[in-house]
Amino acid sequence: MKRVLLIPIALFVVLLGFLAVGLNKDPHSIPSPLIDKPAPAFRLPQLGADGKTFGPEDMRGKVWILNVWASWCVSCRDEHPVLVAFSRTNTVPLVGLDYKDKPDDANRWLASFGNPYQIVAVDADGRVGIDYGVYGVPETYVIDRNGVIRYKQIGPVTQEVLDQTILPLIRKLST
Amino acid sequence: MKRLTLMCAALCLAGSVLAGEARPLAEDPVVEQRMIAISEELRCLVCQNESLAGSHAELAEDLRREIRTMIRAGKSDTEIMDFLVARYGDFVRYRPPLKGTTLLLWGGPFVLLLGGIAGLLLYLRQRNAQTDAPLDEAERRRVAALLADAEKRNVSQ
């Protein structure tokens, strides 16, 4: 009889375990199918550079970071100081993808918060964002020398993510 | 009664007028219908408990626009589904395909069901195997006393 009583308790403990794991997971961070796939090609106008365009193939042979942001995006402000500090270290090129934004707003935003980007490509209608599986700005991609996406950060890049994940990966890819 | 009829007529009329206004703005109803059929199978990634068809998120609107474009370009439903899965993963599908990573998702409920059935069978077998131990003399006397007591009370009532 006592052993039968243990069964619901055991089931409850298992359930508790599942719930505990579930609580610590972010339901918004969905594994991207683009990891280890070539970065989708595009050709977009550059922000503040009349007539100049940018595409991922311009970065061939370099490890680089593509950061999707927008002036209307609130959490982009959270990660911005981290990106500005990162750009000062001149580790790898940081390219911005200004997602569904107005160029004037974007320029004003960069003027007031600082511009960490070497180049900013303007994705006005969000088509390139769809190709990159963007669903919550900011998102950040680490792309290797062969143009393959090696890492995707959904949500703001924190100092912790940068130090513990992105920088070690960049070091590994650069050697 | 006359007033009621009038009210009913007014209501019906209002309905038809509203229906006329609420018709989708798409130029091509066939495209729209296919788009809705496809996007009902897809999850909106911004508000994850809504389908792509029902979501008002901006991304959902963009994706519906993209699906419309693909339908007009003559793409099949499978091609469109593959396009979205390639970008957002199996998670966008309400019915993900059966493969290694989704095995637990598809199989889990059946494993639980089998576990439940096995537990129930085990319990039932155990219960059936239990034989009633015969009463000893003291217990028998107690039963007789209790029954007699109950009888007495019934009579007195």
Task: Note the pLDDT tens digit of each residue in A56-65.
Answer: 999 999 999 9
pLDDT digits (tens, 9 = 90+) for A48-89: 878 899 999 999 999 999 999 999 999 999 999 999 999 999
Residues from chain A that touch B48, judged by Cβ atoms under 8 A, are 27-28
Cβ of residue B106 closer than 8 Å to a chain A Cβ = no
pLDDT digits (tens, 9 = 90+) for A132-174: 999 888 999 999 999 999 999 999 999 999 999 999 999 999 8
pLDDT at residue B40 is higher than 80? yes
A33:B86 CB<8 A: yes
Cβ of residue B45 closer than 8 Å to a chain A Cβ = yes
Average pLDDT, chain A: 91
Residue B14: the pLDDT is 53
Q: Which of B59, B85, B101 to mutate to test the interface with A (most CBs of A within 10 A)?
A: B59
- Distance of alpha carbon B121 from alpha carbon B110, whole angstroms: 16
Strand, coil or helix: B118: helix
HEC readout, chain A: CHHHHHHHHHHHHHHHHHHHHHHCCCCCCCCCCCCCCECCCCCEEECCCCCCEECHHHHCCCCEEEEEECCCCHHHHHHHHHHHHHHHCCCCCEEEEEECCCHHHHHHHHHHHCCCCCEEEEECCCHHHHHCCCCCCCEEEEECCCCEEEEEEECCCCHHHHHHHHHHHHHHHHC
pLDDT at residue B150 is higher than 80? yes
Count the neighbouring beta carbons within 10 Å of the beta carbon of residue B145: 10
CA distance A108 to chain B (A): 23
User: What residue of A is the nearest CA neighbor of B64?
Assistant: A130
The radius of gyration of chain B's CA atoms, rounded to the nearest angstrom, is 33
Indicate if the alpha-carbon torsion angle A147, A150, A156, A161 is positive or negative: negative
Which range, of A94-98, A134-138, A169-173, B111-115, averages the lowest pLDDT? Answer: A134-138
Percent of chain B scored above 70 by pLDDT? 82
Instruction: Please report how many Cα atoms fall inside a 13 Å half-sphere around the Cα of residue B121, on the Cβ side.
Output: 6
Residue B5: the pLDDT is 61
- Distance of alpha carbon A112 from alpha carbon B41, whole angstroms: 43
Q: Using 50, 70 and 90 to split pLDDT, how confident is the model at B20?
A: very low
Percent of chain A scored above 70 by pLDDT? 98
pLDDT at residue A120 is higher than 50? yes
Cβ of residue B36 closer than 8 Å to a chain A Cβ = no
Q: Using 50, 70 and 90 to split pLDDT, how confident is the model at A175?
A: confident
Residue B2: the pLDDT is 61
User: What residue of A is the nearest CA neighbor of B101?
Assistant: A31
A30:B88 CB<8 A: yes
pTM score: 0.72
Residue A138: is the preceding peptide bond cis (ω within 30°)?
A: yes
User: What residue of A is the nearest CA neighbor of B43?
Assistant: A135
Count the neighbouring beta carbons within 10 Å of the beta carbon of residue A107: 17
Residue B136: the pLDDT is 85
- Distance of alpha carbon A86 from alpha carbon B72, whole angstroms: 44
Q: Confirm whether the ipTM is greater than 0.85.
A: no
Residues from chain B that touch A127, judged by Cβ atoms under 8 A, are 66
Q: Using 50, 70 and 90 to split pLDDT, how confident is the model at A1?
A: low
A92: phi > 0 → left, psi -120 to 50 → alpha, else beta; which?
beta
User: What residue of A is the nearest CA neighbor of B44?
Assistant: A135
Identify which of A78, A54, A129, A74 has the alpha carbon closest to the alpha carbon of residue A99: A129
pLDDT at residue B122 is higher than 80? yes
